[in-house]
Amino acid sequence: MVVYEQEPFNAEPPRTALAERLRTPLDTFYCRNHGPVPALTPAEWRLSVDGMVERPLELSLNQLRHRFEEAEVAATLQCAGNRRADLVEVRDIPGEAPWGPGVTSSATFRGVRLADVLAAAGLTPEAAHIAFVAPDIAPAADPPQPYGGSIPVSKALQPEVLLAWAMNDRPLPRIHGAPLRVVVPGWIGARSVKWLTRVTAQATPSDNYFQATAYRILPAEADPGQAGPAEGISLGPIALNCAILRPDDNTRLPAGPTGITGYALAGEERTVARVDVSADGGHSWVQADLDRAASPWLWQHWRTILDLPPGEVEVAARAWDSTGALMPASPADLWNPKGYANNSWARIRLTCR
């Protein structure tokens, strides 16, 4: 893993470790944290469900397992800062980890549907948002506070949104949110809150720092240190994106036919329709072979062979989604002072001999 911080622990796998894997091994799955990993005892842990509900609940893990139907979803989670390093090349982004394309990983999660738990609590008609709270204290928040966020009721009631206790057929690891986490497929990873302890139905989005102030795209000229709640664009569904996973960036290799592989992800309920790859920085393109969409919530892997000339070569990749949308060409057009949502063309630089 490429480790950016030990406390809180933040790390991503090398890009080549993600190549051709539909599911990411647990020891390779990226880690994005804002505070120390909390020490929770599963036997003592409880989930509170409150707010605009007719029947507030307090549930143990055992009650969740036996009271509600078990469900499973295969999903790709992606940090909103994925591929921030490309934006840093345009202009510095102080205080933010220069993530590569590896803060994207896929797993099969098992648990219960959030919709079933909310049905048992009895949502009132006034409820428009579902807020999540965890006990990990984030010192970077202003003021320091437990991590939280929210999603609209319309998303919370979809069958793919889970309260999960298992990951890749194993108990959820502590670093990934045990004993229980939210999984919100198709949305930025920040909304899949780990170490969940409270679910609150409310009329407005969460006022937690990580919903109201962070994870928002600010204008390029804005000072994020001075930005207040509700400024900028709140991030939710993942933007169409792709990355080149093999060969690695800045690799020296023989000229000639070379296999190029990567992933593409459309976000929300869209799928990837096409991936193009270029060996001349985007002047000409070859359409890659693209895996079918195994699920609207999972990435799709792609591959092609390019005849690389001797010398310095820039390989670029771009994806189209099922709505006909195309990734933008330049990270300069997407630069923002927190480095979120970079979905410009993926590029690597190779030296061929």
Residue 112's pLDDT is 98
The low-confidence residues of the chain, meaning pLDDT below 70, are none
Nearest alpha-carbon partner for 203 in 103, 298, 130, 307: 130
Residue 167's pLDDT is 98
Instruction: Kindly report whether the peptide bond that precedes residue 247 is cis, defined as omega within 30 degrees of 0.
Output: yes
Instruction: Kindly report whether the peptide bond that precedes residue 8 is cis, defined as omega within 30 degrees of 0.
Output: yes
Residue 150's pLDDT is 98
Residue 142's pLDDT is 81
Residue 296's pLDDT is 87
Integer-rounded Cα Rg, in Å, for the chain is 21
Q: What angle do CA 147, 153, 158 make, to 5 degrees?
A: 105
Look up residue 275 and give its amino acid: V
* 8 CB-near residues (< 8 Å, 6+ apart): 33, 34, 35, 36, 37, 136, 138
* 216 CB-near residues (< 8 Å, 6+ apart): 227, 231, 232, 233, 234, 235, 338, 340
Q: What is the mean pLDDT of the chain?
A: 96
Nearest alpha-carbon partner for 267 in 332, 327, 348: 327
- pTM comes to 0.95
CB 251 within 8 A of CB 266: no
